[in-house]
Amino acid sequence: MSSHERLLSPASLGAWRLRNRIAMAPMTRSRAGAGGVPTSLNTRYYAQRAGAGLIIAEAAQISPEAQGYLRTPGIHGAEQIRGWRAVTDAVHERGGTIVLQLWHVGRCTHPENRLPGTRGVAPSAIAAPGRIFTPSGLLPMPVPVALDRAGIEAIVADYGRAAANALDAGFDGVELHAANGYLIDQFLHSSSNLRTDEYGGSISNRCRLLRDVAARLAERVGADRVGVRLSPFGAFNGAVDDDPEHLFATAIEGLNPLGIAYLHVINVEVSGDRNAAHASVDAVAFARSRWRGSLIAAGGYTADDAEEELASGQADVVAFGRPFIANPDLVERIRSGRPWAEPQRATFYTEGEAGYTDYPAADPIAAI
């Protein structure tokens, strides 16, 4: 039997009472239907994993312009809201709590992956490095359009509408994706933000969009139903900074006055570039020393590691990503001490049930 008493104990987090301190981290799986609409396959996937104290559903684009990758879900249209409602109903029927991660990829996109007439945007006209998968294969990401003030205001409004849509779809709250080199993170970092207006230049200015969007989400759905995910000191999609310690201290401390439900941080070694200059930094400890609210830690944890993180007082909840892919019954495996199955990397982003809903529970009786 498990000795992970803290991990399996209930927790209060914002507006929610969680039945354990195990969160399912948001993971893009590229299984959405046409038009970014969740399907019965997505409903089954999340229902299978409803034993988590908190499910943070995969990132959903807040507008057609916000989409970067193929077969990712949206939260800006009526059909998408209806598709997500089936997901949230299934999770709630099994006693779970589920929030939706809100996403704008910024420059990490390609025209083949978006609707005609939409554009790739960013704080500055600098292309993201690397290539992106498209219907024509792997292609370089084009130089984006630098957002003007009206464009920024429109995106803040899009985030607010998407948050309201998420509650209409039955989600218990939302998480702002401000990590991994996507739009909010692009504004944060000096390598991707060369602006000279109030959204660029100084670190405080580069943190302005993060604060503006988080405040808008709190206004629309209530601060106690909002989380924010950051990847301090990580290097992802070419977003790096000249002074990451000052940057993330400012970013985190700037969120404190909003009174949001939680801050969610990713360990550096799993946040993009394992060879990043600051890979040895304990991002969770760094965040804990600056954050006054509840903290979710994510990235590479075993059950024992997670128990130690909770015992240290640095984290209030620990999020597991890939372990939930191959172990829909991860919570029960932790409780019973059963071994964890390994996920099949080749099916992380493919279509259909294989590698998505066909991983068996250790106890067949627990399978849905």
Q: Are 267 and 302 in contact (CB under 8 A)?
A: no
| Token code pair at residue 40 | 């019965």
Active site residue 182: yes
3-class SS of residue 102 = strand
Picking from 216, 99, 93, 69, the residue whose alpha carbon sits closest to that of residue 169 is 99
Give the integer Cα–Cα distance in Å for 123 and 222.
28
Mapped onto helix, strand or coil, the DSSP state of residue 302 is: coil
Which of these is catalytic: 182, 262, 301, 356? 182
Phi, psi of 119 (to 5 degrees): -135, 155
Distance CA 270, CA 275 (A): 10
DSSP string, 10-42: -EEETTEEESSSEEEPP-------GGG---HHH
313, 312, 316, 212: which is closest to 261 by C-alpha?
316
Q: Which helix (H) or strand (E) holds 44?
A: helix 40-48
- CB environment 39-49: b (16+ within 10 A), e (fewer): bebbbbbbbbb
Q: What is the 3-state secondary structure (H, E, C) of 114-175?
A: CCCCCCCEECCCCCCCCEEEECCEEEECCCCEECCHHHHHHHHHHHHHHHHHHHHCCCCEEE
End-to-end Cα separation, the chain, in angstroms: 23
Active site residues: 182
